[in-house]
Amino acid sequence: MLELLIKHKIVAIIRGIQDEHADAAARALIDGGIALMEITMNTDGAADMIYRWRKRFGAEAAIGAGTVTDMATARVAAEAGAQFLISPNLDEDVIAFGKEKGISVWPGVMTPTEIVNAVKAGAEAVKLFPMGTLGIGYLREIRGPLNDIPILATGGADLHNIGDYLRSGATAVGLGSKLVHMEWIRDGRFDLLREQARRFVEAVNTDQTNQ
């Protein structure tokens, strides 16, 4: 999973989607070039969606669980087949559980102490959150002393600044509503979702080419 994260640099965050629209949305994201998709566990029916997506789309994209805040949620996600677990918080028990089960865990962190503690606990990457509040300058500063830890920067990224995120030290970026527009999904405009995904993938690829 870490290799996929480093290569593709985008995790699509699907939160609050209705089950009836879920498969078409996943198909549109994959067709747009998205290779990692996270269904948040506070979405109704999240476990069933993860299980179904692993069967239907597992050959094309990695399917993970988000908002995994505790062990109970981690167990449900693992049973559903989640390939990675992402949290807004740092729970060392969840990291240990992931290692035991062979599931990548990318815990939520904010401070340098939390980042280092997460890695010591066995996390292969961390989710820096909330980036929309912390800002790119914060990411750039912590990259000085912590330059070898893979960071998934989540919050605040859009088409105009995703390149800035990557150049400032983000290994990858978590994208929620700026990519997964629920209004489009509810209206059945999966063509717009696919095109938005394509734009983000193109922006990442262009940034990597120019480095």
> Domain limits of the chain?
2-206
CB atoms within 10 A of CB 79: 12
Q: Tell me, what's the pLDDT at 18?
A: 96
**Residue 98 one-letter amino acid:** G
Active site residues: 38, 127
Q: Tell me, what's the pLDDT at 211?
A: 58
CATH number for domain 2-206, candidates 3.20.20.70, 3.40.190.10, 3.40.640.10, 3.10.129.10: 3.20.20.70
In the numeric block, which tokens belong to residue 73? 């949620």
The CA distance from 125 to 90, in Å, is: 12
What predicted TM-score, i.e. pTM, was given to this entire model? 0.96
The answer to whether 77 and 65 are in contact (CB under 8 A) is yes
Q: Tell me, what's the pLDDT at 206?
A: 86
The CA distance from 157 to 132, in Å, is: 7
Q: Tell me, what's the pLDDT at 142?
A: 96
With both helix axes pointing from N to C terminus, report the angle between 112-120 and 92-101 in degrees, rounded to the nearest 10. 30
Burial group, residue 100, by CB count within 10 angstroms (0-12, 13-18, 19+): exposed
Helix, strand, coil percentages in the chain from 3-state DSSP, rounded to 5: 50, 15, 35
The answer to whether 43 and 17 are in contact (CB under 8 A) is yes
Per-residue pLDDT of the chain (211 residues; tens, 9 = 90+): 999 999 999 999 999 999 999 999 999 999 999 999 999 999 999 999 999 999 999 999 999 999 999 999 999 999 999 999 999 999 999 999 999 999 999 999 999 999 999 999 999 999 999 999 999 999 999 999 999 999 999 999 999 999 999 999 999 999 999 999 999 999 999 999 999 999 999 999 986 665 5
Q: Smallest Cα–Cα separation from 9: which of 122, 125, 148, 99?
A: 125
In the numeric block, which tokens belong to residue 125? 């990457």
Residue with the two structure tokens 């109970």: 72
